[in-house]
Amino acid sequence: MLIAIDARFYGTENTGLGRYTQNVLAHFFEKDDTNEYIVFVTPKYARLIFPGRVKVVPINVRHYTLAEQLVIPYLLLKYRAELLYTLHFNAPIFCPVPLVITIHDLIKTHFQDIATSTHGHLAFAIKRWGYRTVMGAVIANAKNIIVPSVAVKSDILTAYPDAVGTKIIPIHEAVDSFFVNSAPKIIAKPKIFSSLFNLLFVGNAYPHKNLTNLLSAFTILRREGDYHLTILSKKTPFLASALKKLNPIDRPFVAVDEDVSDKALLRHYTTTGVLVVPSFMEGFGLPALEALSVGTPVAASDIPVFREVYGKHVTYFNPFDALSMVKGIKQALGNGVIYQYPRTWGQVATEIRKVLL
């Protein structure tokens, strides 16, 4: 079988989607001598090499555009592909071959206010229409839908009652081996006392990430002790807007770092007292598992997906209540115990390949 894979999100510059794509493809072609693959990537990754019978095809087509709705089907016909696998929902509405898609979350379905966008009203309205049209079509037409958690599957079935539940397949993600392999080196190096009052936030400052409420909780904590907060995030209008609401007295104690490389993440995880994950909604939530794998305690929102993924290994709080967040953070401080999530990206890739074949 000739399988086409849309991997244009490949690369950590595409944050969580890029890391997911990179990790899946790193193991996807192992021990497969039967099928052939064509992998669509951006020109930056034209020289990627994968094991097996894989042809890398660079295409300069932006995501979420009309062009991808036209070019991808053309390429599928040109290369005579027999199946298309996309690692995100933005697949062709009119796909000439069977389709398997990945839906990481329905955040854009639930967060519809223009405050979630940097576009003007007209562009925002067009993009909203495009999102609803594509999402509805691919959910209806896909042969199978891969999701990262049971929580996302439940969300899809609630938002799209006509969706076929049996074709929605939850496949949990995994922690990068970099963090897992770093754990033994961390065990013998307990955190210095001054780091215990350092808080860490990892992720873009989109409204669903709930950074604003975290900053409110941080203001309360500053009245009680010498707390510091590091935000690992790209500097975006969303981040600037959130920081504007912070009490000016507390601003010098908040640092922003745009370096989210594995080495930078490890450095921050091992020099912080607690990772705070205040999201209102997520599809999975890898940063907390990375932190836990090197013994950094986590305080997280009490939402279904985190209960599913983190279990009893984190401290939970009400993400809508700053005082509850303060209590959760203080309870989590100093409670670091190494927990390694019992999955590998090799297992993830194997389970995805079974869905395709």
What is the rounded CA–CA span in Å between residue 7 and residue 263? Answer: 24
pLDDT(1) > 90? yes
Quote the pLDDT of residue 193.
43
CB 152 within 8 A of CB 283: yes
Q: 147: which DSSP letter?
A: E
Summarised one tens digit per residue, pLDDT across range 254-278 is 999 988 888 889 999 988 999 999 9
Quote the pLDDT of residue 195.
61
188-199: average pLDDT: 61
Helix (H) or strand (E) holding 347: helix 345-356
pLDDT(336) > 90? no
CB 84 within 8 A of CB 96: no
pTM of this prediction? 0.91
Quote the pLDDT of residue 260.
80
Summarised one tens digit per residue, pLDDT across range 11-25 is 988 878 898 999 999
pLDDT(186) > 80? no
CB count in 10 Å sphere of residue 164: 13
Starting at the earlier edge strand, list the strands of the sheet with 54-58.
Answer: 54-58, 36-41, 2-6, 83-86, 99-102, 144-147, 168-170
In angstroms, what CA-CA distances link 343 with 54, 65, 186, 222, 275?
A: 26, 35, 20, 38, 21
pLDDT(98) > 90? yes
CATH 3.40.50.2000 boundaries in the chain: 2-174+344-356, 177-332
Contacts 24+ apart (CB under 8 A), 347-354: 347/174, 348/23, 348/24, 348/27, 348/171, 348/172, 348/173, 348/174, 349/24, 349/25, 349/26, 349/27, 349/28, 349/30, 350/27, 351/171, 352/24, 352/28, 352/85, 352/146, 352/171, 353/28, 353/32
- Dihedral of CA 32/36/39/44: which sign? positive
304-318 burial by CB neighbour count: b if 16+ within 10 A, else e?
ebbebbbeeebbbbb
Residues near 185 by beta carbon (within 8 Å), at least 6 away in sequence: none
pLDDT(235) > 80? yes
Mean pLDDT of the chain: 90
- pLDDT band at 182; cut points 50, 70, 90: confident
Topology given in CATH for the domain delimited by 2-174+344-356: Rossmann fold (3.40.50)
CB count in 10 Å sphere of residue 243: 17
For the ranges 69-83, 101-115, 190-204, 226-240, the maximum mean pLDDT occurs at 69-83
pLDDT(194) > 50? no
What is the rounded CA–CA span in Å between residue 205 and residue 239? Answer: 5
Quote the pLDDT of residue 117.
55
Summarised one tens digit per residue, pLDDT across range 131-146 is 889 999 999 999 999 9
CB 240 within 8 A of CB 204: no
pLDDT(30) > 80? yes
User: 177-332 — its CATH code?
Assistant: 3.40.50.2000
* Tokens 């691919």 found at: 138
Summarised one tens digit per residue, pLDDT across range 282-320 is 999 999 999 999 989 999 999 999 999 999 999 999 999
Backbone angles phi, psi at 310, to 5 degrees: -90, -20
322-349: average pLDDT: 91
Q: Which residue has the higher pLDDT, 204 or 111?
A: 204
Q: How much of the chain, in percent, has pLDDT values that exceed 90?
A: 71
